[in-house]
Chain A
Amino acid sequence: MDLNYTPEQNALREEVRQWLADKVPAQPLQSFDTKEGFEQHRQWEKTLAEGNWGMVTWPVEYGGRGCDLIQWLIFEEEYYRAGAPLRVNQNGIFLLGPTLMEYGTAQQKERFINAMASGEEMWAQGWSEPGAGSDMAAIRSTAIREGEEYVINGQKIWSTRAVFADWVFCIFRTDPASSRHQGLSFIFVPLDAPGVTVRPIAQLDGLPGFAEIFFDDVRVPVANRLGEENQGWRIAMSTAGFERGLMLRSPARFQQTAKRLVELYRQHRDEVLDLSVADAVVKAYMGAQAYALSTYQTASKLMKGGKIGAEASLNKVFWSELDQQMHETALSILGARAELLPHAPAAGAVGNWLDGFLFAQSGPIYAGTNEIQRNIIAERLLGMPR
């Protein structure tokens, strides 16, 4: 155990810090759930790609830097420290990208990876259906093969970023006689294809952060299928593994929230009467720090050839509930002003805590609800009966 950064790691930190200091927009971008904001964020992805900072963990051959996980953590720490924009193409670069590298054909990699990396093509995820949420194997939308094409019919829902994205990666039933985990395939669909209808769904903040997607005899080439036909479940699970695993929510994000919370607390301490706040601020620090330490420990283990499996469910439960706890605490500190939108004349410097609070409500739901995660922890980690 050596909990010091090497000179090379420090040099990387310095390099990232310099670059971000030069490039991070002085004015915060608009929300990427607006048309303008989405384009601003797309532009930022392009800037990142030009500096070769877009996908630091991707192998060099795909335009990344081949960073190891500790280097990735350092990059993320600097990224959040600099207040850089959120990653609008997260679905692409963190979820689909690594899966594509593992399962894609040479032609698919050639076709999709660069465009994804440059921000030219943005991706949405199309897994959930009205009848297939936590129970994803209940997927009913079909992609029926006709010659060299699939003909797609059905509906996806809760598809994040789909309103403004260019492509969606989906799981469809390619064997209509199949049930549950069998007979599913992983297929890419351009969102401007004939027969695709995207209906925005407003989130708690009123903005269309996700959408329903209707497929009505949509035709895509067989070449849009990732991996073997009817093997989609296994591929999707490896994507879910990346998602729930280390990289969906880097600890730096929560450490910076904890830091802002402590600053808010210092600033308003004399006005705060809620007796639980002091305890909650201490807990926020502990939680963010513990998540960071745990991630460093897991990263070190993985770098020595270890594996991460169902442990990822522990992470998901922990960070999502930590995020809620921190934002609840911030609202407690702000008191009755907490309900005011930042532009309300009486709001004063309430910051963006309310926005963060609303978003935090989604954490225990997306990427597998925390109830499902707790089942996984109990059954797969602890060995309790199914």
Chain B
Amino acid sequence: MDFTFTEDQQLLADSVATFLHREVTPERIRASWEGEGSDTRLWQQLVELGLPAMLVPEEHGGLGMNELDFIQIAQECGRVALAEPLVEMAMIATPMLAQLAAGSQPCARVLQQIAAGEARVAIGHPLNPAVADAGIADWLLLASGREVHLVPSDAATLIRQDSVDPSRRLYTPEWDRTAPTYRVAGEEAGAAAWCAALNRGAVLNAALLLGLAQGMVAQSVTYAGDREQFGRPIGANQAVKHHMANCAVQAEFARSPIYRAAYAVAQDPARAHIAASHAKLAAGEAALLAAKNAIQVHGAMGYTWECNLHIWAKRAWALEKNWGDAGFHQERLHAWLLEDTTDIGAEHTFDYPAPEALDSAA
């Protein structure tokens, strides 16, 4: 039993964090809102760091790493509110392609392209109403019923769906669902692949949400230390401190469930339901509280477009509802808790749920 990251995992996360904090500035994020909204140079830098290739299996030219290797990086992406679709593409779409590649030549080919930094893949999970970053993707992983379709983006018609978060570039795709060349998984294999993708998506978005929460707390602490009223920093007031302390408590107790869920997903995403839903719910709650309290602590400034805080807050509001909203994940846990076979006693902290219990939580 050892609940720590390896030295390699920590070093990688720290070096990526240093890069992200240096390069991903609010100014750069705002600049990406203009035009098509893609920071090509930043993506190129991420490719040079090898990040999109991390989860591509070695036989397809990638680094063969897993979700646990990436989870702290996802958290750092949230921390800086990275607008580039690294997490969805590299950590959710890519492993799904890898899962299907054994029976699908096109998937294997696209994995090669991802590893070489030549292609980007957007994913349209049936639970999410729109596909993020479809406009800059080369390939789209889409659901038709439970089938999985891998569609070249120029073969799809994309309808732009504006989000409250200008960094989120959402589209609904239309494509020829009958074209046999697009189908990379039928109903059965597709259902399993979408289920695994959902657990993976929930965990990785939980890490993003936790990072967003931490980013908002950090900005608010700085602001409350600088801003003076009645001759002293507003952060010296207990009411302001406690807003931030409450955020810190929520974030702290989302962290371990996220790492545990990343471990579970890396072991077997099809049995990670409970850990994934817990992580997503805890992180979603932490992020919503952080957004609310951060705006409050910033006062009127927090309600302006000029203040950078809304870059983080809007991402949190959006992501908390994607990859299964709170109701979806609560219902999963609730159904599982009602099963007679479910035992949440102290000796079961690291158990995986019994397979029969997963049906009720499916």
Binding site for B on A (CB under 8 A): 1-6, 9, 13, 70, 76-78, 80-81, 251-252, 255-256, 258-259, 262, 265-266, 269, 278-279, 281-282, 285-294, 296-297, 299-301, 304, 311, 314, 317-318, 371, 373-375, 377-379, 381-386
Contacts and interface: CB of A to CB of B under 8 A. Distances in A.
A1 B261 CA distance: 12
A70 B263 CA distance: 18
Given A282-B333, A383-B221, 8 more contacts: A70-B1, A78-B347, A252-B346, A286-B333, A293-B349, A300-B2, A385-B232, A386-B236
Contacts of A289: 257, 278, 344, 349
A197 B84 CA distance: 70
Q: Which of B5, B225, B232, B347 has the most CB of A within 10 A?
A: B347
B235 interface: yes
Q: Which of A76, A281, A293, A299 has the most CB of B within 10 A?
A: A293
A9 B330 CA distance: 33
Given A318-B249, A374-B246, A285 B337 contact: yes
B59 to A, nearest CB: 25
Contacts of A78: 347
Interface in B140-190: none
B217 interface: yes
B346 A385 contact: no
Contact of B1 (A296, A314, A317): A296
Q: Which of A286, A297, A318, A377 has the most CB of B within 10 A?
A: A286
Contacts, number: 171
Interface string B299-317: 0000000000000000000
Contacts of B254: 290
Contacts of B236: 384-386
Interface string B242-258: 10111011001111110
A287 B257 CA distance: 10
B229 interface: no
B233 interface: yes
Contacts of B221: 382-384
21 contacts: A1-B263, A3-B263, A251-B346, A252-B346, A255-B344, A265-B338, A279-B330, A286-B257, A294-B253, A296-B1, A297-B4, A297-B256, A373-B245, A375-B242, A375-B245, A377-B244, A377-B248, A378-B241, A378-B244, A382-B244, A386-B236
A258 B1 contact: no
A384 B2 contact: no
A379 B260 CA distance: 29
B263 A318 contact: no
Contact of B252 (A251, A281, A294, A299): A294
B350 interface: yes
B259 interface: yes
A9 B2 CA distance: 12
A384 B224 contact: yes
A382 B249 CA distance: 11
How extensive is the interface on chain B, given as a class?
35 or more
A69 to B, nearest CB: 10
A301 B346 CA distance: 21
Interface string B308-342: 00000000000000000000001001100110101
A9 to B, nearest CB: 6
B344 A318 contact: no
Contact of B330 (A1, A81, A282, A294): A282
Contacts of A301: 3-4
A211 B257 CA distance: 40
Given A1-B263, A385-B232, A296 B3 contact: yes
A286 B244 CA distance: 22
Given A3-B263, A290-B282, A293-B260, A384 B344 contact: no
Top 6 closest A-B pairs, CB basis? A378-B241, A252-B346, A293-B256, A374-B245, A77-B346, A255-B346
Contacts of B252: 294, 311, 314, 318
A80 B245 CA distance: 30
Contacts of B282: 286, 290
B344 A288 contact: yes
B231 interface: no
Interface in B202-248: 217, 221, 224-225, 232-233, 235-236, 238, 240-242, 244-246, 248
A259 B343 contact: yes
Interface string B270-284: 000000001001100
Contacts of A288: 344
A1 B4 contact: yes
Contacts of A286: 257, 278, 281-282, 333
B249 A266 contact: no
B2 A1 contact: yes
A311 B248 CA distance: 10
A107 to B, nearest CB: 39
